[in-house]
Amino acid sequence: MKQKKFKAIVLGAGYRGRAYADYAKAHPSELEIVGVADPDPENARSIAAPRYWSDWRECLAEHPEADIVMITMPDALHYEPALLALDAGYHLLLEKPISPTPEQCKEVIAKALEKKRLVVIGHILRYTQYFAHIKAILDSGEIGEVVSIAHQESAGFFKVAHSYCRGNWANSKKSSPIILAKCSHDFDLFSWWIGKPCTKVTSFGSIKLFRPENKPAGAPDRCVDCPAGIEHDCIWSAIKMYVKYDNLKYLFPDRSREAMMKLVSETEYGKCVYCCDNDVPDHQTVNMEFEGGATVSHVMAGFTERNVRTTRISCTRGEIIGNGKTLHICRFDGNDVETGVPLVLRVSNPSRHGGGDFNLVAAMLRMLRRDDPQEMAAVTTQTLESHLIAFAAEESRLNGGKVINLR
């Protein structure tokens, strides 16, 4: 029997919007993008669609025929369109976070449950072979119950400067705290792996480097104006990060030298890292206790060579050690581990995050085909847990590491 093809609207045609919309290009029999709303016409047309709007409000007011609304706009613009889309009967693929405030997050989830709509948050890590393999092993019981997890998110020095110093998530008042914007992925993994609610959180973190007093003497506010002697020796030079090197170009639709020079000459991405509008930590540690006694230590480190996650999970009958690419799995009884990667994730795909971008969209479409109200309600509700941990961590950090009780 021919499977249903779903239709989607994209609100926000930036990097994340393009990442999810690309699924329709790769799988045109499963998904069709029927409209895009973005205030920048060039950005909007980077996603092929029959209709475009400059304002997401105009788009939703017209109520286009679609099944899914993909909300991939800046963090502070998630809440209002999410509620309006749910009221209009759409399912949501909502880029994290749900909202920058816990009250609004709870309201969106409550609305989804009331309207019996599915909300899938952009927690793409659980849809990768690597992290799903860990989940399968833990669920199998082969190495017993989780006792503790030691996890480091090495954010990469170039990515921290880009996103959390110069970029969209540099200022928590304009977007979200870094522990929500960046680390909700990890908190989602911990909750998923352990399968029980988090009960207590404590956290410490600060801005170690990206402060005005650390600016080199004689350095101007913009890298293109920097004296050659200072710019040549600066690790954080925007000219190096965006023009000379390729690490960050994938984030932009136009990657030409001309476009990159315009970027560093005219936008926030060309500012000196020591005089930006940033207020989020460049390093942060969070400790968690889960129901049943399992503990988690999470370190977000901004000063690392690579952007990678490393994990050590200690269980009652064995352990898992992961370097971000491969897993070392030990059973204390000496037997081989039999549990493998889930079948639905074994086929590789060209999307980023280890295939997680496409796998997330595919998983959402599978759930919509099954149309199981209990499954959709459970998935929608689970999305809130990572956010509650992140909000508690930031509250703790701002209060000197105070223990926050979640339940």
CATH number at residue 173: 3.30.360.10
pLDDT, tens only, 182-237: 999 999 999 999 999 999 999 999 999 999 999 999 999 999 999 999 999 999 99
Beta-carbon count within 10 A of 305 CB? 9
Averaged confidence pLDDT in the chain: 96
Give dist(CA 393, CA 286) in Å, integer: 6
pTM value? 0.94
Confidence of residue 1 (pLDDT cuts 50, 70, 90): low
Mean pLDDT, rounded, for 304-315: 96
Same domain, 302 and 324: yes
DSSP H or E stretch at residue 204: strand 198-206
Same domain, 292 and 179: yes
Closest among 132, 404, 161, 397 to 264, alpha carbons compared: 161
- Pure H helices in 141-227: 157-161, 178-181, 184-194
Task: Decide if pLDDT at 364 tops 70.
Answer: yes
Give dist(CA 105, CA 83) in Å, integer: 10
Give dist(CA 54, CA 327) in Å, integer: 46
On whether the CB atoms of residues 96 and 184 are closer than 8 A, the answer is yes
Cis peptide before 50 (omega within 30 of 0): no
Same domain, 317 and 188: yes
Closest among 178, 128, 157 to 353, alpha carbons compared: 128
Q: Which domain holds residue 139?
A: 128-157+169-207+280-343+378-405
Task: Decide if pLDDT at 377 tops 80.
Answer: yes
Chain length of the chain: 407
Same domain, 312 and 201: yes
Residue type, 12: G
Give dist(CA 137, CA 16) in Å, integer: 30
End of a domain among 225, 260, 275? 275
DSSP H or E stretch at residue 52: strand 52-53
CA distances from 248 to 12, 76, 242, 329 (A): 19, 23, 6, 33
Residue 284 counted as domain residue: yes
Residue 349 counted as domain residue: no
pLDDT, tens only, 269-296: 999 999 999 999 999 999 999 999 999 9
On whether the CB atoms of residues 23 and 122 are closer than 8 A, the answer is no
Mean pLDDT, rounded, for 325-334: 96
Token pair, residue 46, equals 């980077």
Give dist(CA 169, CA 182) in Å, integer: 9
Residue type, 30: E
pLDDT value of residue 31: 98
Number of folded domains that form the chain: 3
Strand-strand pairing, 295-301 and 146-154: parallel
Token pair, residue 94, equals 């909502």
DSSP H or E stretch at residue 87: helix 79-87
pLDDT value of residue 235: 95
Same domain, 78 and 103: yes
Residue 143 counted as domain residue: yes
pLDDT, tens only, 133-183: 999 999 999 999 999 999 999 999 999 999 999 999 999 999 999 999 999
Residue 1 counted as domain residue: no
Residue 106 counted as domain residue: yes
Same domain, 59 and 201: no
Residue 162 counted as domain residue: no
